[in-house]
Structure 1
Amino acid sequence: MAIIVTGSSGLLGSALVRALRADGTRVVRLVRRAPQGADESFWNPGKGLIDPAALQGAQAVVHLAGAGINDRRWNDDFKREVVRSRVEGTRTLVKALTELPVKPRALLSASAIGFYGDTGDREVDETAPPGAGFLAQDVVVPWEAETVPAEEAGIRVALLRTGLVLSGEGGMLPKLLPIFKLGLGAPLGSGGQYWSWISIDDWVGAVLHILNNQEISGPVNLTAPEPATNAEFTKALGEAVHRPTMPLAVPGFALRTAIGGFAEEGVLTGQRVMPRRLLESGYTFRHTRLSEALAAVL
């Protein structure tokens, strides 16, 4: 039996595929280009195209596909693409899964802690309601809603509400490193906004834990148990690269001018998120302290 993975060429997907294959698991990757081997199958989520034969007999599906929210400057067209890529992709996949005569046991579908909106310094876990704003109301809420038919069809559904993933191979960290290595790292805005992070090793470990634990369903926060403020993150990253950081923060108006709407919801606000479901289910984090995680991934 195979594990089906979408979004397998991205940072998270490629790390997960490596881990699954290292354990001897057969992986089938759904790709949006011509397949290059027996372990790949074409799909076009925007057009609702998917080969049911590729899904038949799958043990589980891990759905990670979707446009990166900070790939481009936010404008109306790109915001529509962010929503469309998630909603249409999930809808196409879930429809195909529910029509299979033998359905997979589990669907692990990507989500984000943006669901909670700006939480300030208030701790939230998976029981918290959705927050306000584009990411919460226009992206994550409708994205997660597309998995409901799979749950109604008897498939165990886990929603992977992922925080800031720390990796030296991609994501936000490699974009910050050149600045910090020059000694120009600085807090952003107030510096008090919480960045709920997780190391790439723990993200993969948590997904494998969820795959293998039949009792876990619904939203699961993929974040370390000790979120850090942006100011704390800045200090820790400076120490990790052995460089000083700037005493003055980058003002919010400058960030809004430089990167647009993403600054407001993705940088200047934050979520203080706790991984209650992971901890209660017995997952043991490899990295609970930010300094340890940065040392490991760098």
Structure 2
Amino acid sequence: MSILGGGTGFVGRHLTKALQEKGYKVTKVSRKTGPDTITWKDINKNGIPDDVTAVVNLAGANILNPLKRWNQAYKDEVVSSRVETTKTLANAIVSSKIPPKVFATISGVAIYKPNPTLQYTEDSDVEPYDFLSQLVVDWEQAAKLPESHSCRQVTVRSGNLYFVFDNLK
């Protein structure tokens, strides 16, 4: 079984569908209960189920939401929705009796300072230079498991995903 934080969001819904079509059992982690869903409170209280082989976290408030003002309250929501959910899953993995095989998270290319001549890789030195780059640093730090942990970690640094109006379909 896989658990998927952010499984009710745009990318999460599509990933859930693709995994289920391949025969995988997916349980979403959400603020609300529902079919094949556990809540963040459940994870905080009980950890991850013993039969979980993969944990994926795609949770995060939409940075490009045109209905939200880009003020400190919304920035705090953007940070919390990414960093706190990731910490919750990382802590649950560390505490699990039977750890999953993989912990996959998403973060952002905003960690790389724009430069027309540099080619960045995941090994490039990075320093926060604005709000979004600091968010990515904090987000990736929240996902770090102890080096001695047996769970493999994967981080995908994605660009912005422009699916703001998906709910209008």
Distance 1:74 1:94 in 2: 28
Structure 1 residues 67, 50: CA separation in 2 closer, same or farther (over 3 Å shift)?
A: farther
Identical-pair percentage: 31
The equivalent residue for 1:90 is 86
Equivalent position to 1:64, from 55, 58, 67 = 58
Q: Give the deviation of 1:134 after TM superposition.
A: 1.1
User: Secondary structure of 2:63's partner?
Assistant: coil
Tell me the alpha carbon deviations over residues 242-263 of structure 1, each in whole angstroms, 9 at most, x when there is no partner. xxxxxxxxxxxxxxxxxxxxxx
Structure 1 residues 50, 109: CA separation in 2 closer, same or farther (over 3 Å shift)?
A: farther
Distance 2:123 2:70 in 1: 30
Q: Give the deviation of 1:29 after TM superposition.
A: 0.8
Q: Give the deviation of 1:51 after TM superposition.
A: 3.3
User: Secondary structure of 1:61's partner?
Assistant: strand
Tell me the alpha carbon deviations over residues 222-272 of structure 1, each in whole angstroms, 9 at most, x when there is no partner. xxxxxxxxxxxxxxxxxxxxxxxxxxxxxxxxxxxxxxxxxxxxxxxxxxx
Larger radius of gyration: 1
The equivalent residue for 1:40 is 37
Task: State the superposition RMSD in angstroms.
Answer: 2.2
Residues 55, 104 of structure 2: 8 Å contact kept: yes
Residues 41, 51 of structure 1: 8 Å contact kept: no
User: Secondary structure of 1:123's partner?
Assistant: coil
Q: Give the deviation of 1:24 after TM superposition.
A: 0.4
Equivalent position to 1:145, from 132, 141, 145 = 141
Distance 1:165 1:121 in 2: 24
The equivalent residue for 2:44 is 49
Tell me the alpha carbon deviations over residues 14-48 of structure 1, each in whole angstroms, 9 at most, x when there is no partner. 11001100000111111111x222x2112149xx7
Structure 1 residues 89, 111: CA separation in 2 closer, same or farther (over 3 Å shift)?
A: same
Moved over 3 A (4+): none
Q: Give the deviation of 1:113 after TM superposition.
A: 0.6
Structure 1 residues 151, 25: CA separation in 2 closer, same or farther (over 3 Å shift)?
A: farther
Residues 94, 145 of structure 2: 8 Å contact kept: yes
Distance 1:121 1:50 in 2: 48
Residues 50, 93 of structure 1: 8 Å contact kept: no
The equivalent residue for 1:186 is none
Q: Give the deviation of 1:79 after TM superposition.
A: 1.3
| Unmatched tracts of structure 2, length 5 or more | none
Distance 1:43 1:69 in 2: 21
Residues 151, 157 of structure 1: 8 Å contact kept: no
1:80 aligns with 2:84: no
Tell me the alpha carbon deviations over residues 24-80 of structure 1, each in whole angstroms, 9 at most, x when there is no partner. 0111111111x222x2112149xx73532x532211111011112122221112112
1:134 aligns with 2:128: no
Residues 60, 105 of structure 1: 8 Å contact kept: yes
Q: Give the deviation of 1:121 after TM superposition.
A: 4.6
Q: Give the deviation of 1:150 after TM superposition.
A: 5.2
| Unmatched tracts of structure 1, length 5 or more | 175-298
One-letter identity of the residue aligned with 2:154: A
Matched positions, count: 163
1:120 aligns with 2:126: no
Structure with larger RCO (C-alpha < 8 A, sep 6+): 2
Tell me the alpha carbon deviations over residues 83-138 of structure 1, each in whole angstroms, 9 at most, x when there is no partner. 1221111111111111111100100011011111323353222222224211112x
Higher share of residues assigned helix: 1
